Amino acid sequence: MFKDKHVLVTGAAGFVGANLVQRLISLGAKLRATIHKKDPIILDKRIEYVRCDLLHMDDCKRVVSGMEYVFMCAANTSGAAVIASTPLVHVTPNIIMNSQMLEAAYFAKVKKFIWLSSNVVYPPTGSRPVKEEGMFNGDPYDAYFGVGWMKRYTEILCKLYSQRLQNPIKTVVLRPSNIYGPYDDFDFATSHVMAATLRKVIERHSPIKIWGRGEDIRDLIYIDDFIDALILAAEKVETFEPINIGLGKGYSIKEILRMALEIDGYAEAEVVYEPSKPSMIPIRLIDVSKAEQVLGFKAKIDVREGIRKTIAWYRKTHKAIS
């Protein structure tokens, strides 16, 4: 589908953006990719990199010009610690970027706009995997109240552009679980739980400090699997129909750490749990049956294999990209 198509990937120096750029180039797309403060990660003469600030509407209009497909991977992101201390940090900049990029893409007559939502849009559901239609059954978790409502609002914008305007633009919305793998953010100040945990193991921290009691449960999906789902959704979804993307199985932080220690041979590690630190979401499981039904997608890489691959990649490359 993407061979010789004009495709824009925003946020190409980020985790998902870099992996998506790499995949789209292999599929023969005529690729434009935006970067902001960071330099490109994937260096290839076939990629047209544009340094810009998507908080400025003129830049949004410039980068969507002539594009057929837009993958909106640019976002203001961080880890749990930053969100806990500054709940507004991701609200305003993301609303501005998402709103302006949707408007710019609409007036540029882009064929399809693909946007990444999040599982933080959902209210607490305990141990029950949440289905897509459960988003408005309550507020998001308190710790992600601002981010959750920002994501919800942007989903409604996507619905507006795809269903409530003349000459609508097709919008595709995915709600991923916790993504991890090569090119993830491993900076302790901004990283998510998997990247932070793996780095502590690789660097032989002593002790390894874990927020909370290690009992929080997450669905984790390896980046290659997520990119598979992203490409499939861009190809197959023709109407506004948000879809959960995940492994379909949950693991506690303790289980993740135990696997990482075993895989990387750090048997003597001392682990210290810090129950005074905040627990962001005690348990988050998502129902992934719709992805299988609509996209024919099922994740292939289990968590143990994903951890092994990520550790191997980090050991090989982290110095070169730090």
pLDDT value, residue 169:
97
pLDDT value, residue 231:
98
Instruction: Give the strand pairing for 30-35 and 47-51.
Output: parallel
- Amino acid letter, 117: S
pLDDT value, residue 85:
64
Q: Establish how many alpha carbons lie within 13 A of residue 114's alpha carbon, considering only the half-sphere containing its beta carbon.
A: 28
pLDDT value, residue 87:
67
Question: What is the domain partition of the chain in residue ranges?
Answer: 6-321
pLDDT value, residue 208:
96
Q: Looking up tokens 């992101």, which residue turns up?
A: 77
Name the β-bridge partners of 69. Answer: 7, 112
pLDDT value, residue 78:
58
Give, in words, the CATH class of 6-321: alpha beta
pLDDT value, residue 192:
87
- Would you list the DSSP string of 266-298? -TT--EEEETTSPPS-SEE-B--HHHHHHH---
pLDDT value, residue 322:
39
Those residues with Cβ within 8 angstroms of residue 49's Cβ, 6 or more apart along the chain or in another chain: 12, 32, 33, 34, 35, 40
pTM: 0.94
Q: What is the distance between the alpha carbons of residues 139 and 121, in angstroms, rounded to a whole number? A: 8
- Would you list the DSSP string of 234-270? HHH--S---EEES-S-EEEHHHHHHHHHHHTT-TT--
pLDDT truncated to tens, each residue of the chain (322 aa)? 999 999 999 999 999 999 999 999 999 999 999 999 999 999 999 999 999 999 999 999 999 999 999 999 999 875 556 566 666 767 999 999 999 999 999 999 999 999 999 999 999 999 999 999 999 999 999 988 999 999 999 999 999 999 999 999 999 999 999 999 999 999 988 888 899 999 999 999 999 999 889 999 999 999 999 999 999 999 999 999 999 999 999 999 999 999 999 999 999 999 999 988 877 789 999 999 999 999 999 999 999 999 999 999 999 997 644 3
Q: What is the distance between the alpha carbons of residues 193 and 253, in angstroms, rounded to a whole number? A: 8
Token pair of 5 as six digits:
């198509």
Q: Looking up tokens 């220690």, which residue turns up?
A: 261
Q: What is the distance between the alpha carbons of residues 160 and 68, in angstroms, rounded to a whole number? A: 19
pLDDT value, residue 318:
78
Asked if residue 27 lies in contact with residue 4, where contact means CB atoms within 8 angstroms, the answer is: no
| Residue-wise burial string across 30-55, b where 16 or more C-beta atoms lie within 10 A, e elsewhere | bbbbbbbeeebbbeeeebebeebebe
Angle in degrees, CA 21, 27, 28, rounded to 5: 95
Q: What is the distance between the alpha carbons of residues 39 and 212, in angstroms, rounded to a whole number? A: 35
Those residues with Cβ within 8 angstroms of residue 81's Cβ, 6 or more apart along the chain or in another chain: 189
Q: What are phi and psi of 317, to 5 degrees?
A: -120, -15
In the chain, at which residue ranges do the beta strands (DSSP E only) sit? 6-10, 30-35, 47-51, 69-72, 112-116, 170-176, 178-180, 208-211, 217-222, 243-245, 250-252, 271-274, 283-284
pLDDT value, residue 90:
76
pLDDT value, residue 40:
96
| CA distances (Å), origin 253, targets 124, 247, 258 | 18, 16, 8
Instruction: Give the strand pairing for 69-72 and 250-252.
Output: unpaired
| Model confidence pLDDT, tens digit, residues 235-263 | 999 999 999 999 999 999 999 999 999 99
pLDDT value, residue 320:
47
